[in-house]
A and B are shown apart, each in its own frame.
Chain A
Amino acid sequence: MFNFLINPYKFNKFVDIIFKPLVILTLLVLIAGLFLVYFSPLDYQQGLTVKIMYIHVPSAWLALLTYAIMTIYSIIGLAFKIPFSFIINKAIAPIGAVFTILCLFSGSMWGKPMWGTWWVWDARLTSVAILFIVYLLIIFLNHAFENREVREKTIAIFILIGSINLPIIKFSVDWWNTLHQPASISKLASPSIDISMLQPLLVMTVAFSLVGLIIAILRIKAEILMRKNYL
């Protein structure tokens, strides 16, 4: 049933069926999200600036999610020798990098009016910056080796080593004193964010992930076409 996640032919077939509905759905969700953000209430402390959150938080989550997906595919690829997972690693690394830079940029825009600074070297900000450098190195590595097998496995091992950073990013605000505030939404406690602001945030997150998914599908399809001879 989930074979399309590891088999390029089934992936192509599956994607051809769902692609058009997916694009329409994405447009609808994106428009709905923007509407919700536009009509969302102002924060009692931060006023209008709080709306940066609707870009900042989804892109941060997706930057982490992209890396987590790459980590899982690296394990699968190395353990079961499935070539499709390396295709995915190559295809979605730039998407993760874009989400990370979006997160850093919007965070910087948010930090200047609220904290009074563009950038501070606290644990959360630094670890996300390192995540961005890791993404860039993965992209560089894609162009570094001539031999395809060497390149793919090297990148997979590098991704695995770099995944140490993920828990550091997630828990940095809980473990250490940081200027960055702790997470508002967690599984255990009820969210400390009001429902009228939570709704647009979640819709925007869905919209962002759908946009990311569409770009990922296009990139994976292109990559499959390029490697037709090897698969």
Chain B
Amino acid sequence: MLINKIFLFFKREAKLFYSNIADLFSNILFFFLSIFIFVFALGADEQLLRNVGMGIIWSLLLLSSTLSLRKFYEDDFNNSVIKIIHMGGISYELIVFLKILSHFFFVQIPFLASIPIACVFFNLPINEVYNLILTFIIGSFILSCLGSISASMNLLNKTNFSIGSLIVLLFFIPVIIFSIGTNNSESDFNSLISLLLGIALIFLGISPWSSAAFIKLALRNK
């Protein structure tokens, strides 16, 4: 049954998450250290920190979770586990889809726990913290989709590694615009959230197909 195999896939991802947990912690540590650096660089002016807080937290979250994107397919591709799973009866498109979901649950959601602590450093008002968490849930899902596209694209790239992160950052521009927009008092909160949801759905729709195309291409030329 396909559904059993899907559960099996998630079980394996959970095991791998558990054995890679040090990676995750070092990414979160990177996030906090860069926040400290920002605070020291800007000076401890409370009003200033409050004004720029959400923007800084969002961009640092983005940068530190792009750190983990290189690992997205690399291991499974190098030891051909992708081929084995495919031979087990799951199409590449579905593998990508499951991989995106598991990346979201096992890599992005733990970051969520660190957001309230980060907000304390910037003395952000409670409604901004709420906005940040809500937009980050949607935004990190988009990040997982984009990460899947860029990581699969980078599988055979031996010369220019930074190009994958460049593409993630490029397509993330609208997400940042709308996420920060939720703090604007005159903009409509609900419609911004549904805009973000719309973008998430678009990328969720196209990323299985494009990532699977890249993976097939990479397997063929390995």
Contact = CB atoms under 8 A, between A and B. Distances in A.
Contact of A134 (B158, B159, B170, B210): B170
B221 A149 contact: yes
Binding site of B, secondary structure by majority: helix, strand, loop or mixed? helix
Nearest to A140: B163
A149 B153 contact: no
B166 interface: yes
A98 to B, nearest CB: 20
Q: Which of A133, A134, A137, A161 has the most CB of B within 10 A?
A: A161
B94 interface: no
A154 interface: yes
A161 B199 CA distance: 13
B42 interface: no
Given A153-B213, A157-B214, A145 B157 contact: yes
Given A144-B163, A157-B213, A161-B210, A137 B170 contact: yes
Contacts of B170: 130, 133-134, 137
B201 interface: no
Contact of B167 (A149, A153, A158, A164): A158
A143 B158 contact: no
B163 A141 contact: yes
Binding site of A, secondary structure by majority: helix, strand, loop or mixed? helix
B88 to A, nearest CB: 26
Nearest to B171: A161
Nearest to A134: B170
A225 B33 CA distance: 53
Contacts of A192: none
B126 interface: no
Contacts of A150: 156, 217-218, 221
A147 to B, nearest CB: 5
B134 interface: no
Given A130-B170, A137-B167, A158-B153, A144 B217 contact: no
22 contacts: A130-B170, A130-B173, A133-B170, A137-B166, A137-B170, A140-B166, A141-B163, A143-B160, A144-B157, A145-B156, A146-B156, A146-B158, A146-B159, A147-B221, A150-B218, A153-B213, A154-B217, A157-B210, A157-B214, A158-B153, A161-B149, A164-B202
- Can you list the 8 inter-chain pairs with the closest CB atoms, starting with the nearest? A144-B160, A147-B221, A150-B156, A144-B157, A157-B210, A150-B221, A144-B163, A150-B217
Given A133-B170, A137-B166, A145-B158, 19 more contacts: A126-B173, A130-B170, A134-B170, A137-B163, A137-B167, A140-B163, A143-B160, A144-B160, A144-B163, A145-B156, A145-B157, A146-B158, A149-B220, A149-B221, A153-B217, A157-B153, A157-B210, A161-B149, A164-B202
